[in-house]
Structure 1
Amino acid sequence: MICVIADLRIKAGSQDEFFAAARAMLAATRAEPGCIRYDLEQNIEDPEHLTFVEEWETRDALAAHFKTPHMAEWRTASEPHLVDRNVKILHVGDVEVL
Structure 2
Amino acid sequence: MKTRALFRGQAVLLGVLLTLVIPLFFLLSIFLLPLPAWADTDDVANQSIIVAGNIKVRPEKRQEFIALSQTFIEPSRSEPGCISYSFYEDETEDNKFLFFEVWRNRAALDYHFQTPYFHEFVEKSPDLLVKAAEIKVYKIAGFETL
Count of residue pairs brought into register by the alignment: 98
AA aligned to 2:108 is: A
- Computing the radius of gyration from Cα coordinates, the structure with the larger value is 2
- Residue 120 (structure 2) pairs with residue 73 (structure 1): yes
Bigger relative contact order (CA 8 A; separation at least 6): 1
Matches within 5 A, 1:1-98: 1-84=48-131, 85-98=133-146
Post-superposition shift, 1:96?
A: 4.0
Q: Which has the higher helix share?
A: 2
Q: TM-score, normalised by structure 1?
A: 0.90
Aligned residues: CA RMSD: 1.3
Q: TM-score, normalised by structure 2?
A: 0.63
Residues 67-87 of structure 1, C-alpha deviations (whole Å, 9 max, x = no match) = 111111112222211122111
Q: Which has the higher strand share?
A: 1
In structure 2, distance between residues paired with 1:97 and 1:52: 22
**Structure 1 unaligned residues grouped into runs of 5+:** none
AA aligned to 2:136 is: K
AA aligned to 1:75 is: V
AA aligned to 1:2 is: I
